[in-house]
Amino acid sequence: MESERSDEYYVARLIGRLRLLLATSDEVPVETKLETQPMLRELEDALADPPEDRDLDRARSRYDFLCERLEDEPDLNALLLALRNFVPGL
């Protein structure tokens, strides 16, 4: 029987996939990468705290920035949208 994983586990995995895909995609312009990689790190930091201690306004502003900049990148956008399943309030 497989053990159930926490939402934090899935958030970390999704952010890791976002970071990897963003870094390796030849379709994402370099300028977009340079704008979004630091913001992705800030989102990760904002979501690192336990759910009850998170600054959701800070996380939401980083998330919204990423969604806006990456809306034309379907794979990245899909991963961002998946985050909403594990972080209520995004």
Q: What is the pLDDT of residues 55-66, one digit of tens each?
A: 899 999 999 999
Structural domain for 42, as ranges:
7-83
Is residue 56, in this structure, part of any structural domain at all? yes
With tokens 């909403």, the residue in question is: 84
Per-residue pLDDT tens digits for 18-42: 999 999 999 999 999 999 999 999 9
Is residue 88, in this structure, part of any structural domain at all? no
With tokens 């952010």, the residue in question is: 15
Is residue 2, in this structure, part of any structural domain at all? no
Burial class (CB in 10 A: 0-12, 13-18, 19+), 47: buried
Report the number of distinct structural domains present in the chain.
Answer: 1
